[in-house]
Structure formats: C-alpha cells, structure tokens
Structure 1
C-alpha cells in the first residue's frame, strides 16, 4: 500500500473531500459560469469610468507597487487585502482590463461555490441554476466591474461551503483542512471589508452549535473552535503585527476602526427615503428564495444546511441594517444565501426555469453595463480626456477634484495628497474621520500650484464642504485655459472640466 493511499485510508474525510466535493461538483459548472461571466462583463473591458470605487482601488494598488505605504502615503478605510489584491493586479498588468478580468473570474468562482453549497440541498439542476442566479444578481449589485464586494463575498461563501461539505466532521466537533481553509477565507474577507465580521462570527457560532446539538464532547468543540478562531483572525493579526513592526500601527488602526466610528452617516430620513428602492430591487430575488426555502425546509437530510444558510442570510441582513449608510451594492451580501435558498425552486422543472427567466428579465434589459453603444461612447470620451490632460498637464502637476482618481495612473501623475477619493476632501460627512482638516488639506494641495485641475461639475457630496469648494474655485479662476468634457459612468453623463495653465494669471478664458 502506498503512503498516499495509507493517508486517505486513515483519514476518510479527506478522501470524501478529494473525490466527491471537488472534482464531481464544480469543474463543468465553473467553465459555464466563467463563459457567462465573460459574456456579461465583455462590454465593460477597458471602460475605467463606469464606476467610482474601483478606480480608487486600482489607483491605490498602483501606488503600492511604487512602494507607497498604505494608510500613510495614500488613505482609505477599506481592509489591506483588497488593496494588495489590486496591487497584484497592477503588477500583473497595469491596465483596468486586468482588475476587470479578475472580477469576472471572482464572479465565476462565487457562482461555483454557491452551486457547491446548493447541491447539498437541491438536485444538480437546481444547484446549477442557483449559480446562474448568483451571476445575474452579482451583476446587479456591484459585480459589473471591480467593487470590493465582488472579491470578498466568494471568500465568505467558501467558508459556508467548507462547513456544509464537512458536516460530519463538524458534528463530531473536529477540524480538518477544508474547514481551516474555509475559515481562513472568511478572515481574508474581513480584511477586505470590516462588515464581514458579522458573518464570520456567525460561522464560528454555527460551528459550535452544530457540534453541540450533535452531541460532540464540549472540550473538543472548544479546542476546535479556538483553532478556527485563530485561523480566521490570522489575516487581521498578521497585518496588525506587520504595521506595528513597520511603525504604522496607529494609521492602520485609525483607518480600519477609528475612522468608521468618527465619520458622519446618513440621517434616518435619508435611509428611509432609500428604503422603497431597496425593497423594489430585492422583491423578486427574495420572493424566489422564499419559495425555494419553503421546499428545502421539508428536506430532513439537509435541515442543518438550511438552518445554516438561513442564519447566514440573517447575519448579512443584520450587518446591513446596523450600518448607518446604505447603498445598492451593500445588498450583495444577501445574494449568495438567497441564491442557495432559491435552488429549491429552481429544481422544479419549468417553474424553476420561469423563475430564473423572470430574474434575468428584471436585470439584464436595464443594465447600463450591457449597453454596448453607451460603453463604446464612454471609452471614446474617456480616451479623449486622457489625451488632452497628458498634453496640457506640463510640469505643474495634476489635481483631480472629482471621481476620476484613476486619471493619475493613466497620465503618469503623482497624487498631490494622501487623500485622493473625492469625498475625503470635499464631503462634510468625512470631515471628522480622515485624520486631517479638509480645508487645510485643500489649501495645502493648491499651495503646490498644480498646473492642471480636473474638476467634476457638480462635485459629489452631501453636504459639501462649501469653504473647501470655494477655495478650489478661487484657484481655478486663475487658470488660463479650460475645456469641458462629458464622460459616461453607470448613471449616465457626467461633466468634467479640465483647467490648465493654472497659477499664471486670472484670464479664465474658456477654450472652445
């Protein structure tokens, strides 16, 4: 008997993971999901202006490849894993196409993991369609380009998959390599977005509850849960020690924790005003999931998995409700669990196909990401802007006062401040959280006499720092040339004005 065969005979659970879960459940489906994901994302390849956040993430990643210090030389409150992922993308290929292809791949991985969870509850057809629905819904809730949620939601789903695929091991209160890998993935998700902590904590509690309910010895459950807790916390502890060792723990802690406690958030009135839109976009996927859940809950063999997925959905919803702000892409946290639940309906022949078709027709015809003529127009408009700024910026430096932060990369310009994202400089809700005085920082930037300024009209912020905006506009009055461009993001036309030959007088003449 070979040593390899002896290992798998001694640890039969590894044989199950090796021969059942991985090869049998995923590879053909992954190929289909990847092809469909490519089809959905194809129109956006190279269109860097479609979304605001991924531009900034890509800029930070680019700066990290130039040895900039995260949270010191360039600042934001997202976790370091997200930015080092974008640094990896920039190192591989310094083009928006690279992170867009990576997002395409992560969407396919997420769909495959959802299918791997759903196949524990529904038949293969229902599980496969659940993965398709994940692609559709992720496309609607931030997955069209490079939002952070595209990258960390599959990591959380992997943790759930590790539990449901190793349910016998969990019931015995034991730990094996797939579980360790799953909880490490949850820890990586936490270091992409801090709100993932609610789901990660739930996964740990669910592990303990399943083992306790199955009669596993309490000391074994405690030991195993401590191992998983340490594994899940490993990414956080590693980065915390790394920043402490480098002498930058305070900026690290302020970015991930302090700034989130100090910033202002939406008022109750604004949150309530967004509620109808949230309920509208979630009505159909929630209804499909509810119908699927009503069928799955009658499955005695999958009852533990149904409860786990239901709790996962509850933890994700709790995190959304607890957070004082709400944006549409936040709802992506609900998508994986909803799709798994919906598999109970998707396995019902024509009814399931009709449900999926209804979901597709509620999303695809209204997606600006699939408007090919608009995306062609957007790429042409952005190329014209980039060429103009390259020609005009000269030796005076560039300041982007708006959402086009990736313009620094495309024009080979160094950002004039560690605060690059437009809301950090001009949105009053960020004034108490960025670690610097907004007005003083804008004054410091303008004191460098940037020769070219790209100003969005109007600037985005609610409310805006009027004194900082007035200071900017006073400086722009001294620019000799200006030219207006219309760019096209996911919401439509956005106006950008390029001011050049600044600081040389106050002619203010507009260029036709």
Structure 2
C-alpha cells in the first residue's frame, strides 16, 4: 500500500494542472459519452457505434455512476490504474534489480505514459493493469522453471504453474475486453506458459489440456458477450464493430510514418538503458530466465504496436511495461556508474510528458471553452432537433444535453475518409438521413484543410447547410475553430 500511495501521489501531482478538463482527448470524450448513454439503455454497437470492446465502456459507465464530475471521476480512476500498474512493474522488476531500481522503473512508467498522450484516461491506462498482472504471473513462472527440469513422472518444478497460467490468461481475457490489440501479447503469454510447462517436466497430454484451458479462459469474456449479442439477433453487428471494422479502416501512411518516427525518437533513453543493462554483470542483473521472458514480452508488445499500422502515440503504452522493467538494472545504479543515463531518462521523460500534455490541453481547450460553446448552441436545439457535430468534439453532446442524431456520434466516423469502408454502412446515405431530419444546429470544421475529409459526406452537409441553415458564429475550442450553423 505504501508503494501505491507514493505512485498515486506522483501521478496526481504530475497531472494536476489538467484534471477535470473535459476536452483533453477526443477519444476520452466519446468513451464518457458512451458510458453515460449506457445508463439510459443504449446498447453499444447497435444504438451507439464504436469499435472498442464493451469493457472499456463499462469502466467509463462506472465513472459516470460516481457522484460529482464524471470527467474528474474517470481521470482519478485512470490515475489509480496507472499507480497500481506501477506497483506491479516494481514487483516484477525485483527479478532484475533491487528496491531502488524497481521503484524507479515504476516511476519511469508513470512519467512516460504522459509523453505518449496517456496522461489521463486513454484505453491503455486501463488495460495495461491486467496485462501487467498477467505478465508478472508469466515471468514468475519462467523464473521458477529455470531450475533443472525434473525427470518425466516427477513433480513439476513449479506446482503453482497451473494456477498462475489460469489467472494470467483470465487477466488477458479481461484486457481483451478493454482493447483487442492485446491479442498478440496474450498469444505470446500463452506460448511462454506452455514452454514453461514443458521446461517444468509436464507430459504432452497435460500440456495440451492446459493449453486448451488457458485459451478458453482468455476467450471466455469475449465469447460470453458475443453470445449475448447473438441471442439478441445482433451478432453480426457486434462482429463487424469489434473485428471487421479494424481490418477495413483506411490509413494515411505518410502521417502514420511520421508518428512512428516521433515515437521511436521519444524512446531513445530506453534503448540506451537496455543496451547498457545487457552488459551489466549477470550477478547484478537478476534472473536470466526472467530477462529472457521480458525480452520476449518486449518483442510481442512491439509487434502489437506495429500491427494496426496506425502507430498513434498512445498505442505504444503497452511497450512501456517491459521497457520500464528491463531498464531497472540501470535505474538501480548499484552495479556500475549509471547516474547520467538515469538522470537523462527521467529528464527526457518529464520534459516530453509535461510538454506533450500541455500541448494537448492547449490544442483541445478547457472547461471554459466547452461551457461557452454549449451556451451558444443550446438555444438552437430542442428534443426534436438535435445538435449534429459533423466535425468537432463529441463532448458537445453531453455539455448541451442534446439528443444524438445518429448512432455514429463520434465525429470522425462519418467525416473522415479512413472510416469510409469500416462502418458496415454507406456513410453518404447515413449523413443524408441525418441532414434530412433537420438537426437544430450543426458544427463543422471551416478550416481550409480539415483532417482527412470524407468528400462524399462533406458535400452532403455543405449542400444542406447552404439550403436550410444560417451561419451563427465561430466556436473556439482551444486553438481550433468550428462553424456553428442553425436551422432556418
């Protein structure tokens, strides 16, 4: 509990200037909207669409159920999740370093989360906790199996392996219901556990039975949820949203490559720490089996980051788990002089983390910006004529109390070309339906170069605005400007 309190306090202090900001990140705005709508009987994917798993929305629904400000609630929950993850990182790092290095590896994780736009409630902040717990089970099992393998028929080296494997894969199953991208790491954890079972002297029938049981535990939450949707006749809707839409999403490779370059540069201190740590005397670097397992985990997490091809900065957060642990011998500083690199890692992390978070908040705006925009919009909407945010922030729906004009309420789903083939519908037809219903107000980006515009849907909106709407004003949200149009 003492370590958790320290990590929680550090995370809270670092994030304090931005607590309560409802515009901090577009994704978090929508997750909170979905969480709120769950309490009004909305069925995800059917009534309100997104491709994230149900578990993430349940977390935000829990935040919305807490008394007070829902934004502050999910942000405090995220800080608690990050602090708990740091505790488990420190526990796992004891395989490689002493108490000092273990604690500093947890600190490094908290700081670098902010550098990759995970300062508040992005999905990795929540799913990293069950994955870190699962990873600890796997690394502990591998370290226990490093003793000489017993002969066939003898007791396994680790009698707790079956239980550890079941718990680890159940945790992977929970993480899969927060973000499906952990599937690569989950599969890797399963293979590492099977290798450990073989190394511990298990016979092949027992290994096969354990493998089937572990796979079943990892898939169980997803199977249960899919079965519930299928029983309601919505199995195809669930499958399209959770799986097919990920594969069909478009991409701007030039922009994605630039994002990848930025992420790679920000991780340079960790590369140096890993290179130096690998040369430290093995007597100082802890269990060789644990190190091998962590290196495998690092490779799996990098593959999980690269696989989608989008390379958004927050997608790299799972990589920070094994990276922070593998850096522990250098952070410990007891085996050889590593003070300069240790200081550089934290200085770079603090500058990048605080800088990235400040830039993010400055770009998207503050509570005052949202309140001001909402007060301008409210007179133009009513129960029968919703607000339609074609481009802008989904937080405007919550702030104005507006009804939702479409189940595709995350603006980028209908306004960007990347989603054209990923939603399972014809986007132009959906936007025509929305505009034919005459929303009371429409928000649209009026900049010369809107982000990755879907020209087909944009033409429908602009035509309707020209015929049936009048321009009211410009809404300023941070450094961004949007046109507000009201129905004539």
Q: Give your verdict on TM over 0.5.
A: yes
Does the Cα contact within 8 Å between 1:398 and 1:416 map onto a contact in 2? yes
For the residues of structure 2 that align with 1:266 and 1:462, how far apart are their CA atoms? 11
For the residues of structure 2 that align with 1:147 and 1:254, how far apart are their CA atoms? 23
- Listed as ranges, the gaps of 5+ residues in structure 2 are 146-155
Deviations 1:436-491 (A, max 9, x none): 11111111111111111122334986642213112212323343341212222xxx
Q: Identify which of 172, 175, 183 aligns with 1:186.
A: 172
Tell me what 1:487 maps to. 477
SS in structure 1 opposite 2:117? coil
**2:373 matched to 1:385?**
yes
For the residues of structure 2 that align with 1:410 and 1:270, how far apart are their CA atoms? 32
For the residues of structure 2 that align with 1:376 and 1:429, how far apart are their CA atoms? 22
Does the Cα contact within 8 Å between 1:417 and 1:445 map onto a contact in 2? yes
Tell me what 2:426 maps to. 437
How far is the alpha carbon of 1:124 from its aligned partner? 0.7
Does the Cα contact within 8 Å between 1:79 and 1:193 map onto a contact in 2? yes
Tell me what 1:307 maps to. 292
**Compared with structure 1, are the counterparts of its residues 353 and 185 closer, same or farther at alpha carbon in structure 2 (3 Å cutoff)?**
farther
Q: Identify which of 40, 44, 57 aligns with 2:14.
A: 40
For the residues of structure 2 that align with 1:179 and 1:353, how far apart are their CA atoms? 38
| TM-score (norm: length of structure 2) | 0.89
**Compared with structure 1, are the counterparts of its residues 274 and 143 closer, same or farther at alpha carbon in structure 2 (3 Å cutoff)?**
closer
**2:228 matched to 1:242?**
yes
Tell me what 1:134 maps to. 109
Does the Cα contact within 8 Å between 1:386 and 1:410 map onto a contact in 2? yes
Q: Identify which of 138, 144, 150 aligns with 1:168.
A: 144
For the residues of structure 2 that align with 1:307 and 1:320, how far apart are their CA atoms? 20
Tell me what 1:64 maps to. 38
Tell me what 2:441 maps to. 452
Higher RCO structure, 1 or 2 (CA under 8 Å, sep 6+):
2
- Structure 2 matches for 1:248-397, cutoff 5 A? 248-267=234-253, 269-295=254-280, 302-348=287-333, 351-352=337-338, 354-366=340-352, 367-370=355-358, 378-395=366-383, 396-397=385-386
**Compared with structure 1, are the counterparts of its residues 237 and 303 closer, same or farther at alpha carbon in structure 2 (3 Å cutoff)?**
same
For the residues of structure 1 that align with 2:277 and 2:199, how far apart are their CA atoms? 25
How far is the alpha carbon of 1:173 from its aligned partner? 6.8
- Structure 2 matches for 1:390-409, cutoff 5 A? 390-395=378-383, 396-409=385-398
Does the Cα contact within 8 Å between 1:62 and 1:90 map onto a contact in 2? yes
How far is the alpha carbon of 1:290 from its aligned partner? 3.0
Query: RMSD of aligned C-alpha atoms?
Result: 2.6
For the residues of structure 2 that align with 1:139 and 1:418, how far apart are their CA atoms? 31
SS in structure 2 opposite 1:464? coil
Does the Cα contact within 8 Å between 1:57 and 1:83 map onto a contact in 2? yes
For the residues of structure 1 that align with 2:25 and 2:285, how far apart are their CA atoms? 44
Would you say how many aligned residue pairs link Structure 1 and Structure 2? 471
**2:87 matched to 1:112?**
yes
**Compared with structure 1, are the counterparts of its residues 75 and 116 closer, same or farther at alpha carbon in structure 2 (3 Å cutoff)?**
same
Tell me what 1:422 maps to. 411
Tell me what 1:496 maps to. 482
**2:192 matched to 1:218?**
no
Q: Which runs of 4+ in 1 moved over 6 A?
A: none
For the residues of structure 1 that align with 2:367 and 2:341, how far apart are their CA atoms? 35
| TM-score (norm: length of structure 1) | 0.85
Does the Cα contact within 8 Å between 2:387 and 2:402 map onto a contact in 1? yes
**Compared with structure 1, are the counterparts of its residues 71 and 374 closer, same or farther at alpha carbon in structure 2 (3 Å cutoff)?**
closer
- Listed as ranges, the gaps of 5+ residues in structure 1 are 1-26, 505-512
How far is the alpha carbon of 1:306 from its aligned partner? 0.7
Q: Identify which of 175, 180, 191 aligns with 1:205.
A: 191
For the residues of structure 1 that align with 2:196 and 2:281, how far apart are their CA atoms? 19
Tell me what 2:215 maps to. 229
